[in-house]
Amino acid sequence: MPAPQANPLLFTKLALWIVAAVGGGVLLARRRVTRRVRLIALLGGTLVFGFLYGLILGPAANPNPVASLRTLLRVLLAGGPLAPMIVVMVVVLLALVWVSNKSICGWACQLGLLQEAIYRLAPVRRRWKPPFWLSNGIRAAAFLALVGGLLLAGLDWIGLIDPFPLFSLRLGTWALLLVAGVLGASAFVFRPWCQFLCPFGLVGWIIEQRSLYRVRIDPDICVSCGRCAVACPTQAMADNLAGKAVRADCFACGDCLAACPKEGALGWRR
């Protein structure tokens, strides 16, 4: 993504991202995330953060977490002018991950919202929850390929298949094929792009291990029924229940909180 200019719309989107991420965290903390609330957030965020801003700003200027991080990496590893707006965006987005887990991914990223909307609305009974070692291993390899390509040849391979121009209705052939695959897979796998390929998702996953606010278990109340782990669309709650120090991605969807039968056993808290 080229360095953003001082377009006021960029600042409005950044502000709305913050509102969405913080608002999602508040709803989670108050256990107000019902299926209806979640669908409204997913569809509304896809329309506003994705298609509304995408059609107004165009594919080159409509910011997203992935493009912001890629642009910063490209400047740091391959050279070029560093736009202050890019630094601000990356710092703010990663700060949101540190404060409130992946609320920015779960409540504001247009591609993540679209994938999850498809996952929740698709009339599919059999779903696949990929093992974390597999999804994160592929994602780490993709990230290393991105860093290596930029460092050795100035090549940003994700730019060749960037799915985000979908929201401006301007996709190249390879990107169109990727988007078709990702959206089709979203009916069977929760957020496949986020789990398998997203560079921001990998960096965010590292930071979220020390997030201030996230799903926490009260061992004095929890009866270890396992319903939260079954409801969780990733391996995050299973890892949480097992007391693992390093957990799989949590996308702040709230499914575990809704599934828990014991008041106070689970909470979005510090």
Q: How does pLDDT run across 1-58, given as a tens digit for each residue?
A: 444 455 778 889 999 999 999 999 999 999 999 999 999 999 999 999 999 999 998 8
Q: What is the mean pLDDT of residues 117-127?
A: 96
Q: Which long-range contacts does 184-187 make (Cβ < 8 Å, 24+ apart)?
A: 186/114, 186/115, 186/116, 186/118, 186/119, 186/122, 187/118, 187/119, 187/122, 187/124
Q: How far apart are CA 20 and CA 234, in angstroms?
A: 22
Nearest to 71 by CA among 98, 152, 62, 223: 62
Render pLDDT for 64-90 as a digit per residue (tens, 0 to 9).
999 999 999 999 998 888 888 889 999
Angle between helices 199-208 and 132-153 (to 10 degrees): 120
Domain 214-269 class, CATH top level: alpha beta
Note whether 108 and 49 are within 8 A (CB).
yes
Q: How many CB atoms lie within 10 A of CB 35?
A: 11
3-state SS, one letter per residue, for 230-241:
HHCCCCHHHHHH
Q: What is the separation, in whole angstroms, between the first and last Cα of the chain?
A: 35
Q: What is the mean pLDDT of residues 92-118?
A: 97
pLDDT of residue 10: 83
Q: Domain-by-domain residue ranges, the chain? A: 8-208, 214-269
Nearest to 17 by CA among 55, 53, 59: 53
pTM: 0.94
pLDDT of residue 5: 52
Decide if pLDDT at 207 tops 50.
yes
Q: How far apart are CA 206 and CA 190, in angstroms?
A: 19
